[in-house]
Structure 1
């Protein structure tokens, strides 16, 4: 039997479990580390019986510290498996570039140059088509040598969604009218308008990022916590504990 649709105000997390869902990081290690420090402090001064920290994808590109963000997340998961990470389109775009370099693909067009630099590899294109292709070819080879295998294994291991209580977590959103368990992975990391424009309720509240907003957006059927951290200096998270819901923000302006 299908689950009844639910409104945000009525949604609850699992009994005794506190959830933190963190939006797109995009290479801002400073914000990610500060958010984790804040969460650890909260868990210390107000302990929960159980907890999960859910990262909603897009760890690389655009910001300055993609390599260190991946290292941080790998260590966090190793330290405590209650730190969970989902796949974002930029994370898979990074893998796609390592597999088959494309000068017009997501990685090269939207912040992959900064990701490569974080691994010590310049990818800035030379003038002219031939120069551009040759620079990319050399850069791709250098990047293959610079990216540790455990980073690739980590990014390949990321699931597309996870669910706790009345909440469904993914990077971009869901396709309305399709059961949560039948969602296409491409929709989970790429969808926008058809999801955002859907006014009806879903069986669970969809918590996502992917589409930047000036501040966390809380709707009847979804919550968007992508506050353009790499540029705005503000990383946002949804916190759920039983019936209580709140937005947690961490702000650091780049000098």
Structure 2
């Protein structure tokens, strides 16, 4: 009986919402799919009400696996829509690229994430996986080929962003830790501990990183990584007031 009474009087989390007139769009993991990105940006612009306070958020993973990483970085880094706030978050793939620039010995890990496709997109031949010398040579070639403004873009990426009842991070958050105390390792990399948690995080977490065939909406999180590089579907969530909806760009569907 006490359990039942406790559940009746336990404070319930507030419904996530945004202030009147505020609309937020957040785009999931792009992974080198410049074609899908361009289509989805057009759909977002067509959908948005110009009189609103509009924000566009990228949740990271612009590169790797797809064929057009360099083009995606160029497009996202240069994007400037008058009247819009544009927020660019860092994903674990961006961190892997930065790690490679600092230490070529991290190539083994980055290679598993789709490094060869990214190197090709910048005109750099991927190294032989078993040849240490070629890895160092590829790092030097990539240093030369990687535009300075792309490096500046990567260095300036945010790890999280909060607005209204929503918190945005690439991978998610560590359960049991306040949002303001989350660390980069979890914001970029966490998976099962976050995905399986039913905890109220204080705000609804909007994230990518963990792909699914369709966007996922739970009471405590919204997942918007629909595996664009393999599914040919890139997804964005639209948040307005207490409403949640989704837009997508697709090819061959």
Match of 1:115 in 2: 118
Q: What residue is the counterpart of 1:203 in the other structure? A: 202
For residues 103 and 253 of structure 1, the distance between their equivalents in structure 2, rounded to whole angstroms, comes to: 35
In structure 2, what is the Cα distance between the partners aligned to 1:103 and 1:203? 36
* Offset of residue 98 of structure 1: 1.1
**Which residues of structure 2 form unaligned runs of 5+?**
1-10
Give the superposition deviation at 1:99: 1.3
Aligned to 2:242: 243
1:68-122, Cα deviation, whole Å (9 max, x unpaired): 1110011104866612110000011111101111255432221011000000001
Larger Rg: 2
Is residue 100–residue 106 contact of structure 2 (8 Å, CA) maintained in 1?
Answer: no
C-alpha spacing 1:170/1:33, structure 2 compared with 1 (3 Å): same
The 5-angstrom pairing of residues 168-207 of structure 1 reads 168-207=167-206
CA distance in 2, matches of 1:136, 1:81: 41
**1:11 to partner: Cα distance:** 1.5
SS at match of 1:102: helix
How far apart in 2 are the matches of 1:18 and 1:80?
12
Conserved in 1, the CA contact under 8 Å of 2:174 and 2:186?
Answer: yes
Does residue 74 (structure 1) correspond to residue 77 (structure 2)? The answer is yes
Give deviations 1:115-144, integer Å, cap 9, x for gaps: 000000010426xx3xx2222122111111
1:106 counterpart (105, 109, 117): 109
* 1:146-176 CA distance string (max 9 Å, x none): 0011111110101100011100000000011
Q: Give the alignment's TM-score, normalised by structure 1.
A: 0.90
Query: 1:215, 1:208 → 2: CA distance?
Result: 13
What pairs up with 1:80-159 in 2 under 5 angstroms? 82-102=85-105, 104-125=107-128, 129=130, 132-159=131-158
Is the CA contact 1:216–1:227 (under 8 Å) kept in the aligned structure 2? yes
Residues 1:41 and 2:40 aligned together: no
What residue is the counterpart of 2:27 in the other structure? 22
1:6 to partner: Cα distance: 3.0
Specify the alignment match of 2:13 in structure 1: 6
User: Which whole-Å CA distance do the structure 1 matches of 2:12 and 2:165 have between them?
Assistant: 10
Return the TM-score normalized by structure 2. 0.91
Q: Distance in 2 between matches of 1:211 and 1:95?
A: 21
Between stretches 74-83 and 228-237, larger displacement belongs to 74-83
> Judging changes above 3 Å, is the alpha-carbon distance between structure 1 residues 181 and 34 closer, same or farther for their aligned structure 2 residues?
same
- Backbone CA RMSD of aligned residues: 1.8
User: Residues 209, 5 of structure 1: CA spacing in aligned structure 2 closer, same or farther, 3 A cutoff?
Assistant: farther
Cα displacement (A) at 1:251: 0.6
Matched residues, number: 243
What does the per-residue CA deviation read over 1:39-82, in whole Å, with 9 as the maximum and x for residues that have no partner? 11112xx4342100100000011110111111001110486661
Distance 1:242 1:81, change over 3 A: closer
